[in-house]
Amino acid sequence: MTRVLQVGALKPALAEALASSYDALVLPAPHEQAAFLTEHGPSIGVVVTSGRFGVDRALLDALPELGAIVNFGVGYDSTDVAAAVERGVVISNTPDVLTDCVADTALGLTIDTLRGLAAADRYVRSGGWESGGDYPLTRRVTGRRVGILGLGRIGQAIATRFEGFACPIGYHSRREVPGTSYRYHATPRDLAAASDILVVATSGGPASNGLVDRSVLEALGTEGYLINIARGSVVDEDALVELLRDGGLAGAGLDVFAKEPRVPEELLALDNVVLLPHLASGTVETRADMTRLTLDNLAAWLRDGRLLTPIPEVRG
């Protein structure tokens, strides 16, 4: 009998559906996993997990009959995709359904970062305004040159929103995107040098690890702003912290970090940095849509061995 295995904590509605509709097993704590996998590993045919946990090579080795990994979320960099491909294991994620909310967050984070809205709120709450001090002037968003690093579904949605602010748009992706009027830049550094605001919207994983390195950040420059709603691993966080602290960048809006939920201590005291707890897709509507698509992928796989939204790397 093919069994479903839940790996990692999932949203309550999804976890409840897995338990009630599929009698799913749940991978236990690390010290209990060896005995659990010896007993149940050979019966597991599909794993349901999320971008926070994923399936590594060791777990793949313990699941000889695994056929599919159903991922809650658009990111799947925590799963060893290369190892899965070697074994013929297919993987799905939940694209499109979170595109609008992530793009909305990117725009909102940009406005907050340049206009200092969250910092101004803290200023009012602390009594600074009432005591007679004017809040410092901030920077205009309209008309700024915006660079999109990763012009996929989310990147394009972000670009469309910035068009409404009369912002010239440039981008860098692994290849030029046909049919777009946005200016293509051959490298991330070239894009940063031509941008006032660099929005990181690329996928995570080994291929993009450290893509925004010190040279890219320095090219963005002392008047430039970094907005990251992708993955913390894409940015050299040590270099970012140093440049923000020492004036090498004007500011940053960050929804993701290299070692979540740990945020670099030095960022906490900086008013030119807006810090969010990885909430870009965190709306009631989007989470419900993600849960629905995850369950639809699982049902399709168990019914006829296909996934509705396989990731590109394993799409046949």
What is the predicted pLDDT for the residue at 52?
87
- What proportion of the chain, given as a percentage, has pLDDT over 70? 98
Pairing between β-strand 197-200 and β-strand 225-228 as defined by DSSP bridges: parallel
216 and 123, same structural domain? Answer: yes
What is the predicted pLDDT for the residue at 314?
58
164 and 40, same structural domain? Answer: no
Say if 105 falls within a structural domain: yes
Q: Is 260 marked active-site?
A: yes
pLDDT tens digits, 107-119: 999 999 999 999 9
Of the residues 144, 172, 231, 287, only one is catalytic, namely 231
Taking residues 35-62, report their average pLDDT. Answer: 96
DSSP tag of 177: P
What is the predicted pLDDT for the residue at 2?
82
Closest CA to 74 of 254, 278, 300, 316: 278
Which region among 89-93, 121-125, 203-207, 246-250 has the lowest average model confidence (pLDDT)? 203-207
Domain that holds residue 293: 3-95+285-314
Say if 145 falls within a structural domain: yes
158 and 118, same structural domain? Answer: yes
CATH code at position 82: 3.40.50.720
Given a cut of 90, is residue 74 above it in pLDDT? no
121 and 256, same structural domain? Answer: yes
Say if 280 falls within a structural domain: no
196 and 127, same structural domain? Answer: yes
Of the residues 260, 266, 285, 313, only one is catalytic, namely 260
262 and 121, same structural domain? Answer: yes
Averaged pLDDT score across all residues of the chain: 95
Of the residues 87, 115, 214, 278, only one is catalytic, namely 278
Say if 152 falls within a structural domain: yes
Q: Report how far residue 1's alpha carbon sits from residue 22's, in angstroms, rounded to the nearest whole number.
A: 12
Query: Quick one: pLDDT band at residue 316, thresholds 50, 70, 90?
Result: very low
Q: Which helix (H) or strand (E) holds 111?
A: helix 99-115
294 and 237, same structural domain? Answer: no
Closest CA to 161 of 107, 199, 212: 107
Say if 165 falls within a structural domain: yes
* CA distances in angstroms from 131 to 124, 125, 126, listed in the order given: 10, 11, 10
183 and 107, same structural domain? Answer: yes
What is the predicted pLDDT for the residue at 15?
97
Pairing between β-strand 169-172 and β-strand 25-26 as defined by DSSP bridges: unpaired
What is the predicted pLDDT for the residue at 36?
97
Query: Quick one: pLDDT band at residue 315, thresholds 50, 70, 90?
Result: low
106 and 71, same structural domain? Answer: no
More confidently predicted of 273 and 2: 273
What is the predicted pLDDT for the residue at 141?
98
252 and 106, same structural domain? Answer: yes
Q: Is the peptide bond before 95 cis (omega within 30 degrees of 0)?
A: no
What is the predicted pLDDT for the residue at 206?
82
Instruction: For helices 99-115 and 153-163, give the axis angle rounded to 10 degrees.
Output: 50
Number of structural domains the chain divides into: 2
Taking a C-beta distance cutoff of 8 angstroms, is the pair 232, 259 a contact?
Answer: yes
Q: Which helix (H) or strand (E) holds 70?
A: strand 68-72
126 and 225, same structural domain? Answer: yes
268 and 188, same structural domain? Answer: yes
More confidently predicted of 49 and 206: 49
